[in-house]
Structure 1
């Protein structure tokens, strides 16, 4: 039996990642509160947000396989201080100045749920990047060109943001992009979704 697949997201990057799988799906933006609620580690915040995104849509579409994902960035030794989306050019420049020559970690959670069958699987994957020693001019030029105002950490690794790094480390680069696709494929196969 074919179950509909729903991506609980309005993110274009996550839609682009889903499109790689060549599956029929629809994207619906969940309406949840994304503010921290006392979490003291990035993993816990990312896990809760991904779970709540999937749950919000799954409750409305109980037969669908619903995919939620969320990402929280943090600097070395500070998993309790979350790096959010900059939203303004000034904040993006400030974030990148702070990230310069530092390691930034990304906790990316994935939650796949199907309410009618009681299926729920939520995982957290990790990725890290080491930023180069960035000059103010490089940072300003980058922000002006790519406008990464809605990206945690103020960069788009799938675009020009790759030029900001000294190196990247992790199991699956899509974790850094906002949705761990290797894990998603594994979970979809559990649900008998054919990928490929």
Structure 2
């Protein structure tokens, strides 16, 4: 099987990828998340996931590279990832008592020359959308939460994989790993397309 690189050093994404039993290297992407004006939140998630994978393609030309990103969608508006605890608290205050969508995109970039893969097929991606409803929260509860999890850089100002589950009344999803940031079911499907499948004895797994 091909060498695998994860374009992320997030401990949460690494923990998810570890569940697949793959040997991989985690490398920080060389990519700046700047959303073009007018781009939908879902399209932003795809753009950023693909951009992260592509940013490592030159330095890791022999590897299959995985990129992922999340975009929080409030009535069609992209809610940018908070850079401070105050911004995280402001986002949660806006989300309290409301429903929103979390778009998680995963992209896989194949190396040049991979057998049976054309140039047009070297980058593939999928998106999983999870619908969540935040319960009504007081400002004191919001402040307590952000002090507990310190969700700087996390879409919506929350970390579901830590104390974040306390924030929600309802979560509708097809793949719970998407909430954490790396949807494993579509990722496995994309990797199989590039010949990475530990269950395929012909691949040497």
Same topology, TM > 0.5: yes
Contact map agreement 2:110 2:194 (CA 8 A) in 1: no
Give per-residue Cα distances to partners, 1:13-63, cap 9 Å, x unaligned: 111111111111001111112111224201111111111111121232222
Where do 1:4-43 residues align within 5 Å? 4-43=3-42
Report if aligned partners of 1:113, 1:120 keep a CA contact under 8 Å in 2.
yes
1:110-125 pair list within 5 angstroms: 110-116=106-112, 117=114, 118=119, 119-125=122-128
Q: CA deviation at 1:195?
A: 4.2
- The answer on whether the counterparts of 1:53 and 1:69 sit within 8 Å (CA) in structure 2 is yes
Change (3 A) 1:59 1:98: same
Q: Name the CA distance, whole Å, in 2 between partners of 1:96 and 1:167.
A: 15
Q: Which runs of 5+ in 1 are unaligned?
A: none
Q: How far apart in 2 are the matches of 1:61 and 1:146?
A: 33
- Equivalent residue in structure 1 for 2:179, among 173, 176, 179: 176
Q: Count matched residues.
A: 192
1:46 aligns with 2:45: yes
- Structure 2: runs of 5+ lacking an equivalent: 200-205
Cα shift readout 1:121-178 (whole Å, capped 9, x = no counterpart): 1112211110001111211111111111221111111111000000101111111111
Distance (whole Å) between structure 2 residues aligned to residue 147 and residue 61 of structure 1 = 32
Determine whether 1:61 maps to 2:64.
no
Aligned to 1:149: 152
Question: Which of 126, 131, 134 in structure 2 is aligned with 1:131?
Answer: 134
SS, match of residue 171 in structure 2: strand
The answer to whether the 8 A contact 1:188-1:195 is kept is: no
Question: Normalising to structure 2: TM-score of the pair?
Answer: 0.88
What's 2:203 paired with?
Answer: none
Distance 2:177 2:28 in 1: 20
